[in-house]
Amino acid sequence: MGLHGNILVVPADPGYWPPAHRELVLTLDDVLIEDGQVAPFHREHATYSAMGRFGNHMLVGGEPEIDLSAKTGEIVRFYLTNTANTRVFNFAVRGARMKLVGGDSGRCEREELVESVILAPSERIVVDVLFDTPGEAVLEHRTPERTYRLGSVHVAAEPAEPVLSDWFERLRTDPEMTAQRTRIAPYLAAEPDKTLELTVEMDFEAPDGATQYVCPMHPEVVSDEPGKCPKCAMKLMPTSGTSAPSPEHHAEPESHEHPAGEAHDHAAGGIEWEDDMVEVNRTTTPANTRWMLVDRATGAVGHDIEWRFRVGDQVKIRVVNEMDSDHPMHHPFHIHGAGRFLVLSRDGVVEPNLVWTDTVFITTGQVVDLLLDVTHPGRWMAHCHIAEHHESGMMLNFDVEPADDD
């Protein structure tokens, strides 16, 4: 509903970030509008529990389309935060050049020239954008199926001063993160201290009379027996055998472009880019859709998990996004308050560009190893940052004790 904002922590070292002419803090969001109003929320429980509540209007900095200006050669540093309930953004700037310089909690190990950056809910990314061509540059959200216009930047012919384009071409390496790569080397092959499974159980009552089982995301998949969809592995939903399901879609955001020749694929790369099962999603609640964090060592679920750490611990946590669940999909996994972590590897491949973070985006079926740097005593939380998922059970608490010499 908009009750959020950014806090920008400025580094003490004036050379921490590469030179830029100015900085801009932006939130990326969406909102679901029905009949001219924000679609209502249920007072007693979460709805849209299966996939989360997708909006049909994009918002940048709280605006439906942001209008900016720049000078030719100007470098603008964008601090981006995804504040959406569930939508993953793939942010790009058409007509300009972009360089990745940081993430949730500081600099990346290596600066990279990029075409776009992906942000899951709660993720923050820092990019430098060089507006090197007069005219219009366009802020975009790019998915495999379409490109959404988020705003425009009017680039004046007047040159920016001082000239910083040479700095943009330099791809710096962060010495702190290089040292971290050396430090974490022994953890790469080590067994995890904790293994956490992300999964879901869905339970829908079958209607009276003849029953068929249908995939909400692929309604052409119909079976006379319970089972899973061969296309997406989602649990088939019971429906009346006398009625044929039809595809369901929200009204699409007003500002979008459809790339020619693109195949329909809302789940490319293990990411649910859109809500492809609107009516089913709308009626899912914690009563029929139970998202879970499961400790594989003990079988404990959610708030029954009893983890205890001590300040100074380095805890290797393996997070398994289980494909053998009733609705496999991505999750932004967030550790709240106890410290920060480094992503060690994804599906056994060592992370190529380290950055301190508190949220890791785990695509469908992916296995991620992370190393938690435990820094604060107290009771903390780990959860999926899709709002409807953590409200439907995908959350745990853990306790951190002071260090021995405290």
pLDDT in tens, 288-337: 999 999 999 999 999 999 999 999 999 999 999 999 888 999 999 999 99
In the block, residue with structure tokens 């009346």: 240
Sheet holding 194-202, edge to edge: 289-295, 194-202, 314-321, 367-374, 339-346, 349-350
Ramachandran bin of 156, using left for φ above 0, alpha for ψ from -120 to 50, beta for the remaining angles: beta
The per-residue pLDDT for range 142-190, each reduced to its tens digit, is: 999 999 999 999 999 999 999 999 999 999 999 999 999 999 999 999 9
Q: What DSSP designation does 41 have? A: P
Looking at residue 259, its pLDDT comes to 39
Domains 1-173+248-285 and 182-200+288-401 share a fold: yes
pLDDT above 60: residue 126: yes
Residue spans per domain, the chain: 1-173+248-285, 182-200+288-401, 204-243
> Residue 243 — pLDDT band, cuts 50, 70, 90?
very low
Q: Which CATH class is domain 182-200+288-401?
A: mainly beta
**How many CB atoms within 10 Å of residue 196?**
21
pLDDT above 80: residue 234: no
Average pLDDT (68-91) is: 98
Q: Which CATH class is domain 1-173+248-285?
A: mainly beta
Q: Is residue 192 reached through a cis peptide bond, with omega within 30 degrees of 0 on the bond before it?
A: no
More confident residue, 404 or 108: 108
pTM (two decimals): 0.90
Yes or no: say if 73 and 130 are a contact pair by the CB < 8 Å rule: yes
Looking at residue 226, its pLDDT comes to 78
Yes or no: say if 122 and 142 are a contact pair by the CB < 8 Å rule: no
In the block, residue with structure tokens 């809500």: 275
> Residue 384 — pLDDT band, cuts 50, 70, 90?
very high
In the block, residue with structure tokens 């998949």: 221
On average, the pLDDT of the chain sits at 90
